[in-house]
Amino acid sequence: MDPRLIVALDYPSADPALALADQLQGLCRWFKVGLELYLADGNAIVHQLRSRGFSVFLDLKFHDIPNTVAGAVRSAAATGAELLTVHAAGGPDMLEAAAQAVACLPNPPQLLAVTVLTSMDQLQLAAIGIDHSPETQVVRLADAASEAGINGFVASPEEVAALRHRFPTATLVIPGIRPAGADVADQKRIATPAAALAAGASYLVIGRPITQAPNPVAATQAILEEMQHATVPLVANAIL
């Protein structure tokens, strides 16, 4: 078991998601529920996972006006999820509204600001009017989130070292992880589990390399083995 591994349950219904969670009992503590699964099963999937003793990262990536996001964050927190995402691109007022909404709660979840999606590269950014590098954009968005009081970020493995240097105590949650030889699929800015941890990641989010593997338990065990042998900077060990 390694508390730094978060398995992304990107499934269309609860049955396969819970079947995988049950298979990984003892190997994995965290599961990520994203839009596909949440829209299919709602809060029930979060409750089912929590009743099995797992921690839940509810990754709904809120991006709306400040008042709407504050309300969404409160509703998401009421599910018992311990990690929640908002898009940093929603702007300083939205980020502040989200941070204030969780600050008022008795058992606040940790908020994570999503910077630049791991599927975006320079060309994709240019197509939406952003003419600087992914790393520059990630740092700019993380600065905005940090100023709003959010000390957790989602970014790609390529920006972990820069973020860890700038934010020594931040929670850095890193998707776009591909063990050597795994299918890259739609991800663009990727690294192996060991490289992401060595750069300063707090948590690794891994989906298809486990969920699409012929033997998900064996795939998870191989990833855990690689994680155990990674050299990590001391500051990156602060996890929930």
Catalytic residue set: 61
- Report whether 46 contacts 22 (CB < 8 A): no
Backbone dihedral angles phi then psi of residue 142, each to the nearest 5 degrees? -65, -40
Is 126 exposed, middle or buried (CB count within 10 Å of its CB: 0-12, 13-18, 19+)? exposed
Q: Whole-number minimum distance, CB 59 to ligand C5P, in Å?
A: 6
User: Closest CB to ligand C5P among 166 and 208?
Assistant: 208
User: Closest CB to ligand C5P among 57 and 94?
Assistant: 57
Which residue of this chain has its Cβ atom nearest to ligand C5P in the complex?
Answer: 207
- Listed as own residue / partner, the contacts of 213-218 with beta carbons closer than 8 Å and 24 or more positions apart are 216/20, 216/23, 216/24, 217/23, 217/24, 217/27
Q: Which two three-digit tokens encode residue 136?
A: 């520059």
User: Closest CB to ligand C5P among 212 and 237?
Assistant: 212
Locus of tokens 């390529």 = 158
Q: Whole-number minimum distance, CB 181 to ligand C5P, in Å?
A: 14
User: Closest CB to ligand C5P among 100 and 226?
Assistant: 226
Distance of CA 11 to the CA centre of its chain: 16
Distance (Å, rounded) from C-alpha 76 to C-alpha 185?
A: 29
Q: Whole-number minimum distance, CB 138 to ligand C5P, in Å?
A: 10
Residues belonging to the chain: 240
Q: Whole-number minimum distance, CB 114 to ligand C5P, in Å?
A: 5
User: Closest CB to ligand C5P among 66 and 175?
Assistant: 175
Q: Whole-number minimum distance, CB 112 to ligand C5P, in Å?
A: 9
DSSP 92-108: HHHHHHHHHHHHTSSSP
User: Residues in the site for ligand C5P, rule: CB under 6 A?
Assistant: 8, 10, 34, 114, 117-118, 154, 175-176, 187, 205-209
